[in-house]
Copies of this chain bind each other. A is one copy, B any other.
Amino acid sequence: MVETVLESKKNNFLWLDLVEPTEEELQDVAGRFGLHTTSLEDCLDPIHQPKFEKVQNTVFIILRAYDTRSRLQTDSIHKITRKLAIFLGNNFIITVHRSELDFVNELKDEWKNRCARDEKSESNLIILLGLVKGAVYSYSLAFEKLEEAIEGYEGKIFTNDDTPVNIKEIHEFRSKVSAIRRVLRQLYDVILKIDDYTDEFAPVYQDIRERLERYLMLTDALREASNDILNTHISLASHRTNEVIRVLTIFSVFFLPLTFIVGIYGMNFKYMPELKTTYGYPSTWLVMVLITAGIYTWFKRRGWLK
């Protein structure tokens, strides 16, 4: 579908929006504006990473915005983000995408209203910055969800209530953060290259870049936090194993000799002098008490008790 969003004959300016274009529509537009074949291929490749390319006088940009409908259900960057291709010429801007994108629609509405009010501020640069801003800010929802998740994990592990954390879940969390970091890194490379085109709008541009820098730093913090949770989990688990084994050892060491001793006098030999003596039974108890006391002292010195 090819939609003419803005057309200003006076200023000789045009914004075309192609939503899920057929190959013919694309070829047609390409012919009119002299777009390069390889750019068209990139437009049609749904998994293409963000890029910035200048072919003669046309700038070709691919952005990936967070798909607010994805709910982060996977760590595949192609499933949680959506591609927006942009061609920027001297007197035109062409946007190409496969599905409706909320932030593109909002920008289109905004500009249609402006033009209705006959404002003459149209400029391909400010529209480009509007699109880039929309794409970057789209990730705010993803980070809200990720921060909520990490706080949940931290609550579980750092408070004293022993709800177990789900190791697999945290690993998946970290995978998602890594995937988002990778796409933001590429987006950042693209945005750094846009700098040359933004002189009069420099503060707007810097605002977008700073936001992205904040997100990149946030991914670092989230990765560190998830690593911390996993490491703490392992530390605590090994600490708990240690404690469990200590209890096992203490009980075994106390009872193994005692059980052996009572076993001796459970034997049925005809000639066992001890069995006949009056003090055999109490002496055996005495020996067992002494052994227990000895082991107790030994453990105490090693600091294994309490």
Contacts and interface: CB of A to CB of B under 8 A. Distances in A.
Given A48-B210, A244-B249, A252-B252, 17 more contacts: A51-B210, A53-B203, A168-B232, A178-B224, A230-B235, A238-B241, A244-B245, A244-B246, A247-B253, A248-B252, A251-B256, A252-B256, A258-B263, A262-B263, A265-B267, A268-B272, A272-B281
Contact of A53 (B206, B233, B255): B206
Contact of A49 (B48, B210, B242, B264): B210
A141 interface: no
A49 B212 CA distance: 12
Contact of A249 (B42, B49, B171, B245): B245
Interface in A24-53: 36-39, 41-42, 48-49, 51, 53
A294 interface: no
Contacts of A268: 265-268, 272, 275
Interface string A146-167: 0000000000011000100001
A116 interface: no
Contacts of A175: 224-225, 228
Interface in A122-149: none
Contacts of A303: 162
A276 B265 contact: no
A99 interface: no
15 contacts: A38-B207, A41-B207, A42-B207, A49-B214, A167-B232, A167-B235, A168-B236, A175-B224, A237-B238, A238-B238, A238-B241, A265-B267, A267-B281, A268-B268, A270-B276
- The complex is assembled from copies of this chain, and their number is 5
Interface residues of A, number: 88
A195 to B, nearest CB: 13
A66 B272 CA distance: 76
A68 interface: no
Contacts of A257: 251, 255
Contacts of A49: 210, 213-214, 217
Give me the 9 closest cross-chain CB pairs, A-B, nearest first. A262-B263, A265-B267, A248-B249, A255-B256, A266-B266, A269-B281, A38-B203, A38-B207, A36-B203
A36 B225 CA distance: 36
Contacts of A265: 267-269
